[in-house]
Structure 1
Amino acid sequence: MVVGDFALELDTVVIGAGPGGYVAAIRASQMGQKVAIIEREYIGGVCLNVGCIPSKALISAGHHYQEALDSEVFGITTEGVKLDFAKTQEWKDNSVVKKLTSGVEFLLKKNKVEIIRGEAFFVDANTLRVIHEDSAQTYSFNHAIVATGSRPIEIKGFKFGGRIIDSTGGLNLKEVPKKLAIVGGGVIGAELGAAYANLGAEVTILEGTAQILPNFEKDMVKLVERSFKKKGVKVVTNAMAKEAVDNGNSVTVTYEAKGKEEKIEADYVMVTVGRRPNTDDLGLEIAGVEMTDRGLVKVDEQCRTNVKSIFAIGDIVPGAALAHKASYEAKIAAEAISGKDVAVDYIGMPAVAFTDPELASVGMTEKEAKEAGLDVKVSKFTLAGNGRALSLNQTEGFVRLVTTKEDNVIVGGQVVGAGASDTIAEIGLAIEAGMNAEDIALTIHSHPSLSEAVMDTAELALGLPIHV
């Protein structure tokens, strides 16, 4: 290979080293491909560095702080509890984020994946150019997997900078704000709103639709709203954010609700109204790749674009912008390149909100099942009847199963409460495997455990409940 005006040859190249990209690179290498991965910023992508992982670290810190402040129900009285937020941030950055990202880099090297630093641009369907600092190199490739992720949307009147921040800025504040305004009450806004409320901030959430967490069912969201009320979080729905003015030591947010213009003052305003796919400035159009009007890449069920040599996964393709969706698609694309007969199937794709309490959903809701023409029934078991939930003093929530009336096949499920993000996996497996309620009911669950609530719900679906 010759460096310079000549193109270096690559077999499979992955653009982006987030949870889609690095998984694709490792799986492709495992399938016998010679793989290189191109990353312009940081290994691990948004998720590991400024998204999923650091946000859960702050959420966890908030929970521990609240437990230290108030555990009298357990007979534990504490005095002099203090929060050293600088130390919290240091733990998040060094003991959590850096450990994971360095681990991912180790895994890439272990799997013989070449790491190329820089920004990639397509020249044509089999050539790209990588620019890094003051140098540039051209590469030819047999196959490319584009996994460039997404970035926060900036809305009119809320230009990022200073005290007007996106979710990345919200995760890296130097102090817990006394007052925090959040524009957007989706998963990111609700999660970080709860985290900062637990850490002592006075939080106001402005949501443009009729409810926060609009992608979850109303009875699930009600429990989060109740929790927010207890924390002193103010939620304003059907609110239109109009402008934010940075005053230097505070920010004034103007919004409209119920036909009336309102203003609130806060230390920071965090905008979490969605994310935009990172598909611009990649040269995808030059390579002949077809896009949607929203800037998403059109792909088939193997994540292949209309250009045979180029695949795309994660936030840049249609569907939910979820890290675990990107990782799933990564394996499909890598295996498709190796000639395996694989295709995406999102039937068991979970959605989770790490709020208080946690929300998790997989498969179809009752409404979706009926719209699909299925004759279903719904069975719901409250965590107040679960021994482990009682021992944790976290009885808010429930497990719900959506099953067919004829043969009790599980087509959907929702979990609200402690451990929902983990418990949902059992229901997802059941849906993926085509199991019915009897399969779950006959599975021996450890006692006492939160997962027993799934078994109890399955027994309820069969008309043979023990703990109801």
Structure 2
Amino acid sequence: MKTISKKLLVIGGGPGGYVAAIRAAQLGLPTVLVEGEHLGGVCLNVGCIPSKALIHAAGEYEKANRFAGDNALGIRVQQPSIDLARMQQWKDGVVGKLTGGVAALLRKAGVQVVRGWATLLDGKTVEVATQEGEPLRIACEHLLLATGSVPVPLPSLPLGGPVITSTEALALTERPKHLVVVGAGYIGLELGMAWRKLGAEVAVVEAAGRILPTYDEELAKPVLASLRRMGITLHLNCKAEGLTEAGDGLHVRSSKADEFALPADKVLVAAGRVPRTQGYGLESLQLDMAGRAVKIDDQCRTSMRNVWAIGDLTGEPLLAHRAMAQGEMVAELVAGHKRRFDPMAIPAVCFTDPELVVAGMTPADAESRGLEVRVSSFPFAANGRSLSMESGEGFVRVVARADTHQVLGWQAVGAGVSELSAAFGYAIEMGARLEDVAGIIHAHPTLGEAVQEAALRGLGRALHI
């Protein structure tokens, strides 16, 4: 068996893994990256990027349908149609450009990429079943695990036939007549809303008593109102019990023990994701675990010397940008730099309609830590840019210390608020006070003015409300 040796071996070519490999190579470290499927991982191939492309296409189709009828803008078009196969080709083209770009960046940096599935032999050696069929053994001084996550399986709904995951939901070339989404988290709602805009009848089944149960209820209210306007049926406090005998529906049981069946051409299981810990010999390393996740310290070190772990494998939050930041840090640590992973804020975005952003502490977070805070918000109903975009729904909210006015957190819900996440991160990480944000000139007319106005309101001197 052929054997190669490198300073750093990265298992997994997702956002965290490929960023780590590129940064390591930039720093002069001999680096090899092993990936069994596609470079870019779940995010670029069957997650973040294709889902946003689908959401965009669905929004454009919905807009065209609105313009086919009476509308305030006075635009008239003929009744639109959509070629789903062609839409999927466009979406796949977007994905292809980005994954091809990742491959080019790895080549440019000098990273050796091995296509195949790795099996861990010990903390310094793996054996790879390569796509070419020739087994390869790789020895390393440092091992970085970046294997990502997998969908949470539901025993009552084994995958296959009408039961699909987000991966299949992103690739449908025929519109389901009835789509049932199991799970009202961000994945389920993003895809459910997109397919509703594309013309499917959509129902959502959620075991909790509200949508987006891991998010602030006040932030979720505009999303709930949007779901109802769109005609998406919600079954809260309900559990999926399995397919009907004919396979054309889903048995559901409510918390009151009522049973009923929902018609379903497709059942999308979106019950969350868990770290990918099976199938590559991770158990042989006997690493310390934190529940289902690999336990790490503030430098992403595991319990075994020179074995590192990043991204979804290490637990919440399961976010690509967190994995990227961790990967860059690990590469620099291996190169001898002094680093630790201690961000004050990791923004999280739901690309629902309307969008939702959370960065830093919420009011509940501050209360749980015993902090006295000022909480203020500014509605988009008073923001010119939002109104000119036919929106006006939602708000920006800031959480700041009561004594020093240091900004601890931002939240927003509304059209286009995902683009505010960078400003939120800057303010928190740079230790801005309400006075700092309020004193910065914000361009007019933009959604960012609501950020300034929220800070002004926190100081008791809002100008436009």
Q: TM-score over 0.5 for the alignment?
A: yes
Measure the CA separation in 1 of the matches of 2:457 and 2:403. 15
State the 1:257 CA deviation.
4.2
State the 1:246 CA deviation.
7.1
State the 1:293 CA deviation.
3.6
Look up the SS of the partner of 1:214 in the other structure: coil
Alpha-carbon contact 1:163-1:246 (below 8 Å) kept: no
User: Equivalent residue for 2:65?
Assistant: 69
**Among residues 45, 48, 55, which one is paired with 1:49 in the alignment?**
45
Q: Deviations over 1:13-60 (max 9, x none)?
A: 111111111111111112221111100011110110001110111110
In structure 2, the CA distance between the partners of 1:373 and 1:391, relative to structure 1 (3 Å rule), is: same
Q: Deviations over 1:409-442 (max 9, x none)?
A: 1001101001211112211211111110111112
Measure the CA separation in 2 of the matches of 1:174 and 1:258. 38
State the 1:455 CA deviation.
0.7
User: Equivalent residue for 1:307?
Assistant: 304
User: Equivalent residue for 2:103?
Assistant: 105
User: Equivalent residue for 2:6?
Assistant: 10
1:322-401 paired onto structure 2 within 5 Å? 322-401=319-398
Look up the SS of the partner of 1:7 in the other structure: strand
Alpha-carbon contact 1:152-1:166 (below 8 Å) kept: yes
User: Equivalent residue for 2:264?
Assistant: 266
RMSD: 1.4
Measure the CA separation in 1 of the matches of 2:306 and 2:279. 19
Alpha-carbon contact 2:16-2:323 (below 8 Å) kept: yes
Look up the SS of the partner of 1:70 in the other structure: helix
In structure 2, the CA distance between the partners of 1:447 and 1:293, relative to structure 1 (3 Å rule), is: closer
1:133-144 paired onto structure 2 within 5 Å? 133=131, 134-144=133-143
1:414 aligns to 2:411 (yes or no): yes
Measure the CA separation in 1 of the matches of 2:25 and 2:449. 39
1:40 aligns to 2:39 (yes or no): no
Measure the CA separation in 1 of the matches of 2:397 and 2:387. 19
Measure the CA separation in 2 of the matches of 1:64 and 1:135. 47
1:462 aligns to 2:456 (yes or no): no
Matched residue type, 2:90: W
In structure 2, the CA distance between the partners of 1:168 and 1:253, relative to structure 1 (3 Å rule), is: farther
Alpha-carbon contact 1:361-1:414 (below 8 Å) kept: yes
Look up the SS of the partner of 2:284 in the other structure: coil
Matched residue type, 1:446: A
Matched residue type, 1:110: K
1:291 aligns to 2:289 (yes or no): yes
TM-score, length basis structure 1: 0.96
Larger mean CA deviation between 71-80 and 280-289 belongs to 280-289
State the 1:286 CA deviation.
2.1
Alpha-carbon contact 1:126-1:142 (below 8 Å) kept: yes
Alpha-carbon contact 1:70-1:77 (below 8 Å) kept: no
Look up the SS of the partner of 2:428 in the other structure: helix
State the 1:258 CA deviation.
2.7
Look up the SS of the partner of 2:370 in the other structure: coil
Matched residue type, 1:260: D
User: Equivalent residue for 1:205?
Assistant: 204
Alpha-carbon contact 2:311-2:323 (below 8 Å) kept: yes
Look up the SS of the partner of 1:394 in the other structure: coil
TM-score, length basis structure 2: 0.96
Measure the CA separation in 1 of the matches of 2:100 and 2:192. 29
1:278 aligns to 2:276 (yes or no): yes
Measure the CA separation in 1 of the matches of 2:95 and 2:256. 42
In structure 2, the CA distance between the partners of 1:237 and 1:252, relative to structure 1 (3 Å rule), is: closer
Matched residue type, 2:446: S
User: Equivalent residue for 2:217?
Assistant: 218
Measure the CA separation in 2 of the matches of 1:123 and 1:281. 13
Q: Deviations over 1:364-413 (max 9, x none)?
A: 11111122121101111000111100110111110000111112110011
Percent identity, aligned pairs only, is 43
In structure 2, the CA distance between the partners of 1:368 and 1:252, relative to structure 1 (3 Å rule), is: closer
User: Equivalent residue for 1:242?
Assistant: 241
State the 1:9 CA deviation.
0.9
**Among residues 421, 424, 428, which one is paired with 1:427 in the alignment?**
424
Matched residue type, 1:123: L
State the 1:444 CA deviation.
1.5
Matched residue type, 2:99: T
**Among residues 56, 59, 64, which one is paired with 1:60 in the alignment?**
56
Measure the CA separation in 2 of the matches of 1:246 and 1:74. 48
Matched residue type, 1:15: I
User: Equivalent residue for 1:166?
Assistant: 165
State the 1:353 CA deviation.
0.5
User: Equivalent residue for 1:117?
Assistant: 115
Measure the CA separation in 2 of the matches of 1:251 and 1:36. 47
State the 1:11 CA deviation.
1.2
Measure the CA separation in 2 of the matches of 1:172 and 1:251. 21
Measure the CA separation in 2 of the matches of 1:140 and 1:288. 19
Matched residue type, 1:327: M
Measure the CA separation in 2 of the matches of 1:448 and 1:34. 49
Q: Deviations over 1:275-328 (max 9, x none)?
A: 12211122223234222342x111111001111111000111032111111111
Larger mean CA deviation between 419-428 and 187-196 belongs to 419-428
Matched residue type, 1:303: C
Measure the CA separation in 1 of the matches of 2:141 and 2:129. 20
Measure the CA separation in 2 of the matches of 1:229 and 1:293. 37
Matched residue type, 1:456: E
Q: Which blocks of at least 5 consecutive residues in structure 1 are unaligned?
A: none
Matched residue type, 2:388: S
